[in-house]
Chains A and B, each alone.
Chain A
């Protein structure tokens, strides 16, 4: 029982990171029906911005996180403007291939600029404390990752449900042309969506940096893919689905490693993707419209 609770704690921290990345995937998909494969790499850029903010500017972790989020918000908007906007009315496969191109561009630009080796997140940025709760080892970084993820998700939920911008986002997602006719600036709304999604990824990147205390230029690939699975699992385009999907993936992976065979962890993660696509392609929270996917 004790071991089980510990595994749940492990799974929740991992899941919080997946959920944050999955949110960006799902928001972008919801609004322009594009799977933004560069999303994991935006997370990587966020992690590096956080790293340089901590080491070069000597800021604390919260300032580093905000810096990373702002930088990546701008980066996300730029990527959308340069790479995706000109293709908005072309086929979806063209946009998808472009997304893969952007992903490789980000990875290898960072390798070109900073070299391929890993950088060590300064330990002083986040002094570790362990709390012993009834025999459970809970670290302050677990709490940090989990709480900041939940806070960011609540803020996101607020923006989408209660603000004018959020209303515009939902409207564009529902029917772009109708939204345009109602006087909503579609371009601006899409830009804001990319900004918010990329900022969340950057936050996740800084969390990965704190949690695993290394960053490297290819660090976004695997978490990006797992978060994509999480987004599909919850129902791509559906925001609460991405959160639930992220946590389910985190806990699932932890349980497979903890009680099954650690080598089947990734196989299970991607097996889930295949099963979902076969059985309920619209995901846990998706409605069966019969024509999606």
Chain B
């Protein structure tokens, strides 16, 4: 009886082992296949082409396809043409996962997308399991590349956008170096991690640069009256006011600040990027305000100009930040493939980790040990109600 059970266990274990080994073998085989036998390099494009954030995904896809076409025209990479395999994840995290599974079975060397942090998280486990790199164009949440609980970097997940709080660093640099602000007040959205994270990074960099933070104030979502706090800020007479938050609150805040006679520059972040800013605050109040963003199509950098022209010629529309980030995702992958010397997902991952000073259209970037790019951002200024690119800030 006892022996019989043991034999049964052994059989089961052998069976399981067979499955595991089979899987492992399979993965290796696909890797070899992608690298050695195929005459094209397959790249998965798993983006949101329908659903809530379809516009993000569509633009990123357009950028990525443009990059692939340019590379193929120039002779491809490692002597092979890149073959994009385009799939719609429907703006659903579960769908992103099954799309990734399908793409992996088509021997992709890497996956571009999805766009939102939530959908990237959906796709992450299967990419990690099969050891295929995922390059996220625009997922900005910190936990996309780093495990929240263990603090460990997720090996196969990369991104080409900076994480949200990093904008605080950029704005602090701009305030201290370009606006010569010696002191500043932070008035941040305290009801979101976004606002708080940006405020924290701003404070750190600004004080490192010798600036003084005179006061830290906060507002919460849906506040509409900021006059009391602004009156207090006015009496402190700061050189600069940093307001990381979303446009719903920031627009009336700036309007009220100007009404109270506060004329100093006010800075913010990409949460400001909305047409409502101008209609609520009015073009006049917005003069002398600045915000950070990933990219501007007005950038005079030759690389950007060339990209904007090519994009317009192909799609007949202006490339937004998502298109630019989609383009860079492909470019950085190609750089990784060149560095790796062969189209193998694991070697590609190792090469991507070592990328330094890669020149993308969204700026020069180096991948840090948390797989976040250290890269430039742009400062956009409101001039009489129009968004005008002011400068590019290199950290």
Using a CB–CB distance below 8 Å, which chain A residues touch chain B?
3, 6-7, 10-11, 14, 118, 120, 123, 128, 130, 137, 139, 208, 212-214, 218-219, 222, 253-259, 262-263, 265-266
Within residues 276 to 306 of chain B, which ones have a CB less than 8 A from any CB in chain A? 276, 279-280, 282
Of the residues B217, B232, B248, B255, contact of A3 by C-beta under 8 Å: B232
The answer on a CB contact under 8 Å between A214 and B219 is no
Q: Is B259 an interface residue (CB 8 A)?
A: yes
The answer on a CB contact under 8 Å between A263 and B190 is yes
- Given the complex of chains A and B, what is the CA–CA distance between A208 and B279 in angstroms? 17
- Given the complex of chains A and B, what is the CA–CA distance between A214 and B234 in angstroms? 24
A11 with B228: in contact, given A130-B259, A137-B259 (CB under 8 Å)? Answer: yes
Provide 5 A-B residue pairs closer than 8 Å at the C-beta atoms, listed in order of the A residue: A3-B231, A3-B232, A7-B231, A10-B227, A258-B231
The answer on a CB contact under 8 Å between B248 and A118 is yes
Give the chain A neighbours of B260 by CB distance below 8 A.
6, 137
Q: Is B4 an interface residue (CB 8 A)?
A: no
Per-residue A-contact encoding for B205-227, CB less than 8 Å = 1, 0 else: 00000000000011110101101
The answer on a CB contact under 8 Å between B228 and A253 is yes
Q: Is B150 an interface residue (CB 8 A)?
A: no
A262 with B219: in contact, given A3-B235, A214-B252 (CB under 8 Å)? Answer: yes
The answer on a CB contact under 8 Å between A254 and B228 is yes
Give the chain B neighbours of A123 by CB distance below 8 A.
282
Give the chain B neighbours of A219 by CB distance below 8 A.
224
The answer on a CB contact under 8 Å between B252 and A128 is no
The answer on a CB contact under 8 Å between A263 and B218 is yes
Give the chain B neighbours of A258 by CB distance below 8 A.
228-229, 231-232
Interface of B is mostly: helix
Give the chain A neighbours of B231 by CB distance below 8 A.
3, 6-7, 10, 258
Residue of B nearest to A11 (CB): B228
Of the residues B218, B229, B280, contact of A214 by C-beta under 8 Å: B280
Q: Is B261 an interface residue (CB 8 A)?
A: yes
Of the residues B220, B228, B259, contact of A7 by C-beta under 8 Å: B228
User: What 13 additional pairs, Cβ within 8 angstroms, besides A6-B231, A212-B252, A258-B229?
Assistant: A7-B231, A120-B279, A120-B280, A130-B261, A208-B224, A213-B255, A214-B251, A253-B228, A257-B232, A258-B231, A262-B219, A262-B228, A265-B228
- Given the complex of chains A and B, what is the CA–CA distance between A194 and B255 in angstroms? 35
The answer on a CB contact under 8 Å between A262 and B279 is no
Closest CB pairs A-B (n = 3): A257-B228, A254-B228, A212-B224
Give the chain B neighbours of A256 by CB distance below 8 A.
228
The minimal Cβ–Cβ distance linking A200 to chain B, given in whole angstroms, is 20
A212 with B225: in contact, given A128-B259, A139-B259, A259-B232 (CB under 8 Å)? Answer: yes
The minimal Cβ–Cβ distance linking B263 to chain A, given in whole angstroms, is 12
Per-residue A-contact encoding for B243-254, CB less than 8 Å = 1, 0 else: 000001001100
The minimal Cβ–Cβ distance linking A135 to chain B, given in whole angstroms, is 9
Residue of A nearest to B261 (CB): A137
Per-residue A-contact encoding for B358-389, CB less than 8 Å = 1, 0 else: 00000000000000000000000000000000
Give the chain A neighbours of B251 by CB distance below 8 A.
214
Per-residue A-contact encoding for B115-133, CB less than 8 Å = 1, 0 else: 0000000000000000000
- Given the complex of chains A and B, what is the CA–CA distance between A256 and B218 in angstroms? 13
- Given the complex of chains A and B, what is the CA–CA distance between A263 and B215 in angstroms? 13
The answer on a CB contact under 8 Å between A213 and B259 is no
Give the chain B neighbours of A10 by CB distance below 8 A.
225, 227-228, 231
- Given the complex of chains A and B, what is the CA–CA distance between A212 and B261 in angstroms? 17
Give the chain A neighbours of B224 by CB distance below 8 A.
208, 212, 214, 219
The minimal Cβ–Cβ distance linking A3 to chain B, given in whole angstroms, is 5
Give the chain A neighbours of B279 by CB distance below 8 A.
120
Of the residues A3, A11, A218, contact of B222 by C-beta under 8 Å: A218
Give the chain B neighbours of A262 by CB distance below 8 A.
217-219, 228-229
- Given the complex of chains A and B, what is the CA–CA distance between A118 and B280 in angstroms? 10
